[in-house]
Structure 1
Amino acid sequence: MYTATAVFDVLLPGDSRSLKAKRSYVRPVVAALRRFEVSAAEVGEQDLHGRALIGVAVVSAEAGHAGEVVDACERLVAGRPELELLSVRRRLHGDDD
Protein backbone atom coordinates (compact mmCIF):
# COMPACT_ATOMS: atom_id res chain seq x y z
CA MET A 1 0.00 0.00 0.00
CA TYR A 2 1.25 3.46 -0.91
CA THR A 3 0.13 6.88 0.21
CA ALA A 4 0.92 9.92 -1.92
CA THR A 5 0.40 13.47 -0.74
CA ALA A 6 0.87 16.87 -2.30
CA VAL A 7 0.49 20.40 -0.98
CA PHE A 8 -0.06 23.14 -3.55
CA ASP A 9 0.88 26.70 -2.57
CA VAL A 10 -1.25 28.99 -4.73
CA LEU A 11 -1.50 32.73 -5.18
CA LEU A 12 -5.04 34.01 -5.59
CA PRO A 13 -6.14 36.97 -7.73
CA GLY A 14 -5.85 40.48 -6.33
CA ASP A 15 -9.60 40.84 -5.93
CA SER A 16 -9.71 38.18 -3.19
CA ARG A 17 -9.57 40.78 -0.42
CA SER A 18 -11.90 38.89 1.91
CA LEU A 19 -12.12 35.34 3.17
CA LYS A 20 -15.46 35.00 1.39
CA ALA A 21 -13.84 35.90 -1.93
CA LYS A 22 -10.98 33.52 -1.17
CA ARG A 23 -13.44 30.66 -0.62
CA SER A 24 -15.03 31.42 -3.98
CA TYR A 25 -11.70 30.56 -5.65
CA VAL A 26 -10.61 27.67 -3.42
CA ARG A 27 -13.89 25.71 -3.21
CA PRO A 28 -14.22 24.96 -6.94
CA VAL A 29 -10.60 23.80 -7.10
CA VAL A 30 -11.07 21.44 -4.15
CA ALA A 31 -14.29 20.10 -5.73
CA ALA A 32 -12.51 19.51 -9.06
CA LEU A 33 -9.65 17.69 -7.31
CA ARG A 34 -12.08 15.35 -5.56
CA ARG A 35 -13.20 14.07 -8.96
CA PHE A 36 -9.83 12.25 -9.04
CA GLU A 37 -11.05 10.30 -5.99
CA VAL A 38 -8.54 11.92 -3.64
CA SER A 39 -8.98 13.60 -0.30
CA ALA A 40 -8.62 17.32 -0.87
CA ALA A 41 -8.91 20.35 1.39
CA GLU A 42 -7.51 23.77 2.14
CA VAL A 43 -4.82 22.87 4.64
CA GLY A 44 -3.07 26.14 5.43
CA GLU A 45 -2.92 29.92 5.11
CA GLN A 46 -6.61 30.12 6.06
CA ASP A 47 -6.20 33.62 7.46
CA LEU A 48 -4.41 35.07 4.43
CA HIS A 49 -6.62 36.49 1.71
CA GLY A 50 -4.24 36.20 -1.24
CA ARG A 51 -2.70 32.75 -0.62
CA ALA A 52 -3.92 29.22 -0.04
CA LEU A 53 -2.41 25.82 0.65
CA ILE A 54 -4.44 23.04 -0.91
CA GLY A 55 -3.59 19.48 0.08
CA VAL A 56 -4.42 16.18 -1.60
CA ALA A 57 -3.87 12.60 -0.51
CA VAL A 58 -4.39 9.31 -2.31
CA VAL A 59 -3.99 5.67 -1.27
CA SER A 60 -3.11 3.06 -3.88
CA ALA A 61 -1.82 -0.49 -4.16
CA GLU A 62 0.87 0.68 -6.59
CA ALA A 63 3.34 3.54 -6.24
CA GLY A 64 3.08 4.38 -9.94
CA HIS A 65 -0.67 4.81 -9.80
CA ALA A 66 -0.45 7.04 -6.74
CA GLY A 67 2.11 9.20 -8.52
CA GLU A 68 -0.04 9.43 -11.65
CA VAL A 69 -3.02 10.63 -9.63
CA VAL A 70 -0.94 13.31 -7.90
CA ASP A 71 0.47 14.34 -11.31
CA ALA A 72 -3.08 14.77 -12.62
CA CYS A 73 -3.99 16.87 -9.59
CA GLU A 74 -0.95 19.07 -10.13
CA ARG A 75 -1.85 19.59 -13.79
CA LEU A 76 -5.37 20.58 -12.79
CA VAL A 77 -4.19 23.17 -10.26
CA ALA A 78 -1.48 24.52 -12.59
CA GLY A 79 -4.01 24.80 -15.42
CA ARG A 80 -6.45 26.98 -13.50
CA PRO A 81 -6.17 30.44 -15.09
CA GLU A 82 -7.36 32.26 -11.96
CA LEU A 83 -4.57 30.79 -9.78
CA GLU A 84 -0.81 30.98 -9.84
CA LEU A 85 0.87 27.80 -8.62
CA LEU A 86 3.88 28.89 -6.57
CA SER A 87 5.18 25.54 -5.34
CA VAL A 88 4.32 21.89 -4.83
CA ARG A 89 5.52 19.62 -2.02
CA ARG A 90 5.05 15.93 -2.78
CA ARG A 91 5.62 12.81 -0.72
CA LEU A 92 5.22 9.10 -1.33
CA HIS A 93 5.02 6.70 1.60
CA GLY A 94 5.15 2.92 1.31
CA ASP A 95 4.70 0.03 3.72
CA ASP A 96 8.39 0.20 4.64
CA ASP A 97 8.22 3.79 5.91
Structure 2
Amino acid sequence: MFVAALVCDLLLPAEVGSLKGKRSVVRPLIADLRRLEVAVGETGHQDLHRRAEVSVAVVSATAGRCEEVLDAAERLVASRPEVQLLAAHRLLRSDSDD
Protein backbone atom coordinates (compact mmCIF):
# COMPACT_ATOMS: atom_id res chain seq x y z
CA MET A 1 0.00 0.00 0.00
CA PHE A 2 1.18 3.51 -0.85
CA VAL A 3 0.07 6.87 0.50
CA ALA A 4 0.90 10.03 -1.42
CA ALA A 5 0.28 13.72 -0.83
CA LEU A 6 0.56 16.84 -2.94
CA VAL A 7 0.78 20.25 -1.25
CA CYS A 8 0.09 23.23 -3.54
CA ASP A 9 1.01 26.78 -2.55
CA LEU A 10 -1.26 29.18 -4.44
CA LEU A 11 -1.39 32.90 -5.13
CA LEU A 12 -4.88 34.27 -5.68
CA PRO A 13 -5.80 37.25 -7.86
CA ALA A 14 -5.38 40.83 -6.60
CA GLU A 15 -9.15 41.39 -6.66
CA VAL A 16 -9.59 38.82 -3.86
CA GLY A 17 -9.76 41.23 -0.95
CA SER A 18 -11.60 39.22 1.67
CA LEU A 19 -11.84 35.72 3.07
CA LYS A 20 -15.26 35.46 1.40
CA GLY A 21 -13.67 36.26 -1.96
CA LYS A 22 -10.95 33.70 -1.25
CA ARG A 23 -13.58 31.03 -0.58
CA SER A 24 -15.20 31.79 -3.93
CA VAL A 25 -11.93 30.82 -5.63
CA VAL A 26 -10.77 27.94 -3.43
CA ARG A 27 -14.07 26.04 -3.02
CA PRO A 28 -14.60 25.35 -6.76
CA LEU A 29 -10.97 24.23 -7.06
CA ILE A 30 -11.41 21.79 -4.17
CA ALA A 31 -14.66 20.50 -5.69
CA ASP A 32 -12.92 19.85 -9.02
CA LEU A 33 -10.04 18.05 -7.29
CA ARG A 34 -12.50 15.79 -5.46
CA ARG A 35 -13.69 14.52 -8.84
CA LEU A 36 -10.31 12.77 -9.06
CA GLU A 37 -11.45 10.63 -6.10
CA VAL A 38 -8.87 12.00 -3.68
CA ALA A 39 -9.01 13.54 -0.23
CA VAL A 40 -8.47 17.28 -0.48
CA GLY A 41 -8.61 20.31 1.77
CA GLU A 42 -7.30 23.79 2.43
CA THR A 43 -4.38 23.19 4.78
CA GLY A 44 -2.61 26.51 5.15
CA HIS A 45 -2.70 30.30 4.83
CA GLN A 46 -6.31 30.37 6.09
CA ASP A 47 -5.90 33.90 7.46
CA LEU A 48 -4.42 35.41 4.26
CA HIS A 49 -6.65 36.77 1.49
CA ARG A 50 -4.37 36.22 -1.49
CA ARG A 51 -2.64 32.98 -0.51
CA ALA A 52 -3.94 29.44 -0.16
CA GLU A 53 -2.44 26.04 0.50
CA VAL A 54 -4.42 23.11 -0.85
CA SER A 55 -3.38 19.53 -0.14
CA VAL A 56 -4.38 16.34 -1.94
CA ALA A 57 -3.98 12.80 -0.59
CA VAL A 58 -4.36 9.44 -2.31
CA VAL A 59 -3.97 5.80 -1.27
CA SER A 60 -3.23 3.08 -3.83
CA ALA A 61 -1.76 -0.39 -4.20
CA THR A 62 1.04 0.95 -6.43
CA ALA A 63 3.35 3.94 -6.33
CA GLY A 64 2.77 4.46 -10.05
CA ARG A 65 -0.95 4.95 -9.57
CA CYS A 66 -0.32 7.45 -6.78
CA GLU A 67 1.99 9.41 -9.08
CA GLU A 68 -0.59 9.36 -11.90
CA VAL A 69 -3.28 10.76 -9.63
CA LEU A 70 -1.00 13.44 -8.21
CA ASP A 71 0.12 14.38 -11.74
CA ALA A 72 -3.52 14.85 -12.74
CA ALA A 73 -4.21 16.91 -9.61
CA GLU A 74 -1.20 19.15 -10.20
CA ARG A 75 -2.18 19.67 -13.86
CA LEU A 76 -5.70 20.59 -12.78
CA VAL A 77 -4.44 23.18 -10.29
CA ALA A 78 -1.89 24.61 -12.74
CA SER A 79 -4.53 24.93 -15.47
CA ARG A 80 -6.79 27.17 -13.38
CA PRO A 81 -6.47 30.75 -14.68
CA GLU A 82 -7.73 32.25 -11.41
CA VAL A 83 -4.81 30.93 -9.34
CA GLN A 84 -1.06 30.92 -9.74
CA LEU A 85 0.72 27.75 -8.59
CA LEU A 86 3.76 29.01 -6.69
CA ALA A 87 5.06 25.61 -5.54
CA ALA A 88 4.01 21.98 -5.39
CA HIS A 89 5.57 19.47 -3.02
CA ARG A 90 5.01 15.71 -2.99
CA LEU A 91 5.31 13.00 -0.41
CA LEU A 92 5.16 9.27 -1.09
CA ARG A 93 5.25 6.59 1.58
CA SER A 94 4.65 2.85 1.58
CA ASP A 95 3.53 0.60 4.40
CA SER A 96 6.99 -0.97 4.40
CA ASP A 97 8.79 2.35 5.09
CA ASP A 98 10.41 2.64 8.51
**TM-score normalised to the size of structure 2?**
0.98
User: Matches of residues 6-45 of structure 1 in structure 2 within 5 Å?
Assistant: 6-45=6-45
CA distance in 2, matches of 1:11, 1:96: 36
Aligned twin of 2:92: 92
Please give the alpha-carbon distance, in whole angstroms, between the structure 2 residues aligned to 1:94 and 1:67.
13
Ranges of 4+ aligned residues in structure 1 off by more than 2 Å: none
Q: Alignment identity in percent?
A: 58
1:51 aligned residue: 51
Q: Distance in 1 between matches of 2:88 and 2:96?
A: 24
Partner Cα distance (2:45, 2:4) in 1: 22
* Runs of 5+ consecutive residues of structure 1 not aligned to the other structure: none
Provide the rounded CA distance (Å) in 2 between the counterparts of 1:95 and 1:54.
24
For residue 10 of structure 1, give the secondary structure of its aligned residue in structure 2: strand
Q: Please list, as runs of the form range in 1=range in 2, the aligned pairs for 1:68-83 lying within 5 A after superposition.
A: 68-83=68-83
Consecutive unaligned residues in structure 2, runs of 5 or more: none
1: CA distance between counterparts of 2:83 and 2:95? Answer: 35
Tell me, in whole angstroms, the C-alpha distance in 1 between the residues paired with 2:27 and 2:41: 9
